[in-house]
Chains A and B, each alone.
Chain A
Amino acid sequence: MRVALFVTCLADTLAPEAGAAVVRVLERLGHEVEFRREQTCCGQMHLNTGYRREARQLAARFVRVFANADVVVAPSASCVGTVRELYPALVAGDPALEREFEALASRLFELSEFLVGRLGVEDVGAAFPHRVTYHPTCHSLRVLRVGDAPYRLLRAVRGLDLVELPDASECCGFGGTFAVKNAETSAAILTDKVRRVLETGAEVCTATDSSCLIQIGGALSRLRSGVRTAHLAEILAAA
């Protein structure tokens, strides 16, 4: 299958290893990956901060960049959720754009839902001999509802010791611009998440979203906790 990668502006700039890992996983499974250089951002930050007009322009751009792709895969539940759940209201009123969006929406996937749900693959041939805990990000859990897809993928990784994260479904406190606008509340929420991660005794905390991992990883680093974060794709790419 020819897969267009939507790497997301965040991973492109701040977590390129997550994007590279998606490429490696998909190629290992025999798929052809293409990268459309015209892509920038889905507009989530603008939309969620209230800048609807700017978000609409970025949404139009996103839809046109990927309009003729067979399938689009992104290493972010949050960005895919924005497109799938929030674009309909955003593109409404522009019939051409609405049509293009509708055609695209069903061909856009977050990585774990693509692998498990669309391809029916759980064992991607990865080996990662570490103790790992998985944080289900809010948007993977409650917007995309990826269910147990990430757990299935992680359980099939050779050597990986998956430990359950207590209170897993609780938010990490990132929330995009919330982390800056309400920095102190964000830190209070994050502290509880980090406490739970440390309780597991894991070496690595993983998730489907680089944004949440930057938040969690930022505190793990500040605390000199000796625990690191890695995007789910990075673990699946390891061999």
Chain B
Amino acid sequence: MSGGFPAAARDALRDTQLRHNLGVATRTIRDKRAQVVAERPDWEELREAGRALKQRVLRHLDEYLIQFERAVEAAGGSVHWARDADEAGRVVTQLVEATGAREVVKVKSLTTDEIQLNDTLETAGIGVVETDLAELICQLAGEQPSHILVPAIHKNRVEIRDLFRRELDLPDLSDEPSELAGAARAHLRKKFLEARVAISGANFGVAETGTLCVVESEGNGRFCTTLPRTLITVLGIEKLVPEPEDLEVFLQLLPRSSTGERMNPYTSLWTGVTPGDGPQEFHVVLVDNGRTDVLADEVGRQTLACIRCSACLNVCPVYSRTGGHAYGSIYPGPIGAILTPQLRGVEHASSLPYASTLCGACYEVCPVKIDIPQVLVHLRSRVVDEASPPLGERAAMRALAWTLAHERRYERAQRAARVLASPFAHDGLITRLPGLGAWTDTRDLRRVPRQTFREWWESR
């Protein structure tokens, strides 16, 4: 990300269509969420249960992973371990190649986007069909998803109509939502019936039973997990829950937090292979890709509790103006601002922890109580300690701290500020201040008052 978040945000802020779509969409989901959450008198207890369960999983992740592997294998599936994106990509490519299939269908999955699996497969000559409607739109447009849950939030229906007309060869298509959905359905049904291999992610993996769980709205995921002969599920190692009963907590937290629904339309659960029913070959690829590094950070590790609901995106004052692409990662918004720098290393995403006003709205809605502002501030200190803060910032902050360490120095600096700023004040206002153009480009600054508070106090 050259220029980092501020530069990417600058472009996004100028896109009036994006700003409009985002404003409408985030507000709609935010209001729906608030409504269905308010229905639950035990919401805080549910959040606490979700947090505690995820904490337990992370504390004993080594044991739960082994338990999960045994359970999957006992149920007739195979488990593969991948240290990073490259290894995961190789494993999945080999598994697909072994079936002889030249095309796969996919269930919407952030983890496979994180490891850029589609690129890897396409390089190996394997076609990939995204089957989530919004993911399909992004794929046909050759764009990255911009929202965890609503990947095509940045596009409107006219743009989608034009895309389908061109890419699906439907020159007479209208922009009626039902017609657009019908076009996608016709395209995808054919793909489902032809596919021999499906690739999915999963929302949860149950350690005790080896059961996988996918939560979705369209039912396209269920086509993928039931029709093809071979199913490959790519799972981040943090996605486990201890027991099937624990899903009770998350299946209440997730839909209310993400789509603002009491229950999502489709919840698919499967365990290994059932002879004569569904996929007859089942693989799980467990992906680390930086997660154990996150786990090693005492403050940062709570990030791994995330269940990818995207509630934090919709309430974020930054995300709801810039959209997802500015975050330069498949994980946008507040959760992306803390997850991406940890997965990639803070030196590779050093502007992201600063892409927040620390307003705390994200923490308030997080269904597993991730203290996102706390992690943001922690990561900022890691940027300062381990990466390189902007030129001159460190010197300025040190000089300021030295000044503030003694009241006499501080008082001298107050007087100096008044003297130095006074030539720039006109009629009591500073409208342009060298070095602070970032402030004065859009806002005035009052003249530095003639008397500090302490001078007033002394003169009383």
A interface with B by C-beta (< 8 Å)? 7, 9, 11-17, 19-20, 23, 35, 37-41, 43, 45-52, 54, 57-58, 61, 86, 138-139, 141-143, 169-171, 173-190, 214-215, 217-219, 221-222
Contact = CB atoms under 8 A, between A and B. Distances in A.
B201 to A, nearest CB: 30
Given A52-B384, A54-B398, A86-B377, A13 B448 contact: yes
Nearest to A36: B407
A41 B356 CA distance: 22
A185 B377 CA distance: 19
Given A20-B453, A182-B6, A184-B13, A37 B444 contact: no
Q: Is the interface of A mostly helix, strand, loop or mixed?
A: helix
Interface stretch (B42-50, B225-233, B328-336, B435-443): B435-443
B384 A173 contact: no
B426 to A, nearest CB: 12
Given A16-B449, A174-B357, A218-B444, A50 B439 contact: no
30 contacts: A12-B414, A13-B448, A16-B451, A16-B453, A20-B453, A37-B407, A38-B407, A48-B358, A48-B377, A49-B397, A51-B381, A52-B385, A54-B397, A54-B401, A57-B405, A58-B405, A138-B361, A142-B361, A142-B363, A143-B360, A170-B361, A171-B317, A171-B361, A173-B317, A175-B358, A176-B358, A183-B442, A184-B6, A187-B443, A221-B444
A15 B385 CA distance: 33
Interface in B6-43: 6, 9-10, 13
B95 interface: no
A214 B317 CA distance: 18
Nearest to B428: A221
Interface in B345-390: 351, 353-361, 363-364, 377, 380-385, 389-390
B397 A46 contact: yes
Interface of B: 5-6, 9-10, 13, 317-318, 321-322, 351, 353-361, 363-364, 377, 380-385, 389-390, 393-394, 397-398, 400-401, 404-407, 410, 414, 417, 429, 431, 436, 438-439, 441-446, 448-449, 451-457
A175 B356 contact: yes
A183 B439 contact: yes
Contact of A142 (B353, B359, B377, B407): B359
A9 B377 contact: no
Contact of B404 (A11, A40, A183, A219): A40
Given A141-B360, A142-B364, A218-B444, 11 more contacts: A35-B457, A39-B407, A43-B404, A48-B358, A49-B393, A54-B398, A175-B359, A182-B5, A187-B442, A214-B446, A221-B429
Nearest to B410: A40
Q: Is the interface of B mostly helix, strand, loop or mixed?
A: helix
Given A50-B383, A61-B405, A178 B446 contact: no
A178 B354 CA distance: 7
Contacts of B457: 19, 23, 35
B13 A188 contact: yes
A219 B443 contact: yes
A100 B357 CA distance: 30
Contact of A185 (B321, B404, B452): B321
A15 B366 CA distance: 35
Nearest to B319: A185
A98 B322 CA distance: 41
B91 to A, nearest CB: 38
B356 A40 contact: no
A179 B317 CA distance: 13
A180 B453 CA distance: 25
Central interface residue in B318, B355, B363, by most chain A CB within 10 Å: B318
Contacts of A23: 457
